[in-house]
Amino acid sequence: DTGVSQDPRHKITKRGQNVTFRCDPISEHNRLYWYRQTLGQGPEFLTYFQNEAQLEKSRLLSDRFSAERPKGSFSTLEIQRTEQGDSAMYLCASSPRDSSITPLHFGNGTRLTVT
């Protein structure tokens, strides 16, 4: 069972640079979620996809953030012109169907540090 895979695990960047993270969900999971987690807090919802369609975005997702899931498989999350406040763990999760009774399967996250 290959779980949710995220790459890279860690990213250190300078303020103002662009970064892109990748998430490979569990095969055939049609829902994919991005969450952000800061130290001592729970995950905060950013956006989710059903297949290739981005169905909902949080108000946390400013114009500098963009997410794609071009073929309904892997997804990328890009942050442009990074700010120090973007430093966080970015978590990806997937679930097998559009149902409220299936749990999320999380990757181990990408930890972003903006200096």
Site residues (CB under 8 A) for other proteins? 4, 31, 33, 35, 40-45, 48, 55-56, 91, 93, 98-101, 103-109, 111
Q: Which is nearer to other proteins, 44 or 80 (CB)?
A: 44
The CB-of-12 to other proteins minimum distance in angstroms stands at 15
Rg of the chain (C-alpha set): 13
For residues 12 and 44, give the distance between their C-alpha atoms in angstroms, rounded to a whole number. 21
Q: Which is nearer to other proteins, 36 or 82 (CB)?
A: 36
The CB-of-5 to other proteins minimum distance in angstroms stands at 10
Alpha helix segments (H runs only) across 1-115:
none
The candidate with the shortest Cα–Cα distance to 50, out of 73, 23, 24, is 73
The CB-of-63 to other proteins minimum distance in angstroms stands at 20
Q: Which is nearer to other proteins, 18 or 41 (CB)?
A: 41
